[in-house]
Amino acid sequence: MTSSTPASPAAAAAATPTRERLLDAAAVLFYQEGVHVGIEALCRAAGVSKRSMYQLFASKDDVLAASLDRAGSDYLSQVLPAPGTDLPPRDRIMYVFDRLESLSTSPEYLGCPFLATAFELKKPEHPASVVARRYKDALTDFFREEARRGGAHDPDLLARQLTVVFDGSSARVAAQAQSLGGLATGTAAALLDTAGMD
């Protein structure tokens, strides 16, 4: 019987497909340093050549959009209740804000990546802005459905208000470099009370 030895980090990185390495590196760099990170820094972080990158993506804009799309579902899974979670509508909404409060205590959390990307780009037509809007719309849709199920007076208005609280709270974390300390959960709860959700 032969024993196998674990692969070295370099060997493991080499075994990871080039596209995944690029998207992983892009997600980290763009989130931590901003969308204006250059191609050379990105390729260096991913351990791939610029030639390889351009064989996979037409431009840096396409890399940014694809990396945000890939990271987006991971981010939403951090803040939304898991599928099949048996909670009343109000608790499902409050779960999102509880998670946001928890994330805000981590030094690695720099706010909502969709909001940050769209704000930096300032171009609604940019491919990454389109991706960011799609994910923000998904969050608003979640709020709207739970508000409807919970008997809110105006589910659409409440959903948009909750999205504003989420976005404003995320922006505060990034701008103030401090945790929310109950601001997000308190504001969300007050909106739910006003909307008639018990």
What pLDDT does 16 receive?
Answer: 65
What's the predicted TM-score (pTM) here?
Answer: 0.88
The predicted pLDDT at position 198 comes to 84
DSSP state of 124: T
Place of tokens 């997000």: 184
Distance between CA atoms of residues 136 and 163, nearest Å: 8
Cα 59 to its chain centre, rounded Å, is 22
Q: Which amino acid is at 93?
A: I
State how far the Cα of 162 lies from the Cα of 156, in Å rounded to an integer.
Answer: 10
- Rounded CA-CA distance 92/94 in Å is 6
Domains of the chain: 68-194 (1.10.357.10)
pLDDT of residue 12: 42
Closest CA to 87 of 79, 97, 95: 95
Successive 10-residue mean pLDDT values, the chain, 198 residues = 41 66 94 94 95 94 96 93 93 98 95 94 95 97 98 98 98 93 98 96
Residue 81 per-residue DSSP state: P
Res 84: pLDDT? 85
Q: Cα torsion at 175, 178, 182, 186 (round to 10°)?
A: -10
